[in-house]
């Protein structure tokens, strides 16, 4: 279940302070600031991590690992890039990513606090990434950023994907050894 922390920061301006005090007067006496309310989980947070993964790299695995901390499920979407010559076939790339992800999930089923990490599945797809993401009910695309050039390139797509397809983009910055 999701947790929401309710707290109020009083502004310096006296008008805001008065508004805050007036709103506090309407709260039940049993209500305390900092109370944690638990909300029922209504849906799975599903992200798509698209790429050609030809070949899959440690940087890709780092993004998947980070995505598992942020989402309930990450779908590694192995696509085809007509602008690149293939080193491996689509089925070989899916098999290789599945093998490496299975080992990663076996080695690290939870985080350092004992919390479960998100599930990962690997699928091949063709066509537009946004069409595929919508077809599986994803709410976000997951992208790894190595440097400022990556960010500038990816932000253009992120804005378009949000405006046209209603898909958010979550960026994770690559670890120093993968940048």
pLDDT band of residue 22 (cuts 50, 70, 90) is very low
**Predicted confidence (pLDDT) at residue 20 exceeds the cutoff of 50:** no
Position 2 scores a pLDDT of 40
CB distance 69 to 44 below 8 Å: no
Position 38 scores a pLDDT of 56
The predicted model gives 18-41 an average pLDDT of: 49
Write out the H or E segment, with its range, that includes residue 8: none
Residue 151 DSSP label: H
Peptide bond into 55 cis (omega under 30): yes
CB distance 58 to 100 below 8 Å: no
CB distance 124 to 94 below 8 Å: yes
Position 58 scores a pLDDT of 94
Find the angle CA(85)-CA(87)-CA(89) to the nearest 5 degrees.
100
pTM: 0.74
Residue 39: count other Cβ atoms within 10 Å of its Cβ. Answer: 9
The predicted model gives 55-64 an average pLDDT of: 95
**Predicted confidence (pLDDT) at residue 21 exceeds the cutoff of 50:** no
In 3D space, the residue among 23, 25, 67, 16 whose CA is nearest the CA of residue 46 turns out to be: 67
Q: CA of 66: how far to CAs of 3, 72, 160, in Å?
A: 21, 12, 24
């Amino acid at each position: 279940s999701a947790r929401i922390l309710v707290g109020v920061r009083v502004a310096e301006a006296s008008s805001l302070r008065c508004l805050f005090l007036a709103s506090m007067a309407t709260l039940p006496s049993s209500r305390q600031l900092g109370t944690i309310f638990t909300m029922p989980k209504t849906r799975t947070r599903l992200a798509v991590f698209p790429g050609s993964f030809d070949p899959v790299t440690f940087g890709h695995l780092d993004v998947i690992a980070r995505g598992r901390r942020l989402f309930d499920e990450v779908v590694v979407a192995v696509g085809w890039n007509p602008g690149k010559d293939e080193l491996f076939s689509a089925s070989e790339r899916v098999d290789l990513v599945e093998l490496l992800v299975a080992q990663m999930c076996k080695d690290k089923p939870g985080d350092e606090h004992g919390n479960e990490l998100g599930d990962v599945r690997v699928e091949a797809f063709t066509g537009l990434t946004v069409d595929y993401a919508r077809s599986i009910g994803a709410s976000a695309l997951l992208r790894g950023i190595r440097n400022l050039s990556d960010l500038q390139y990816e932000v253009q797509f992120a804005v378009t994907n949000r405006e046209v397809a209603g898909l958010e983009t979550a960026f994770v910055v690559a670890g120093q050894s993968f940048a």
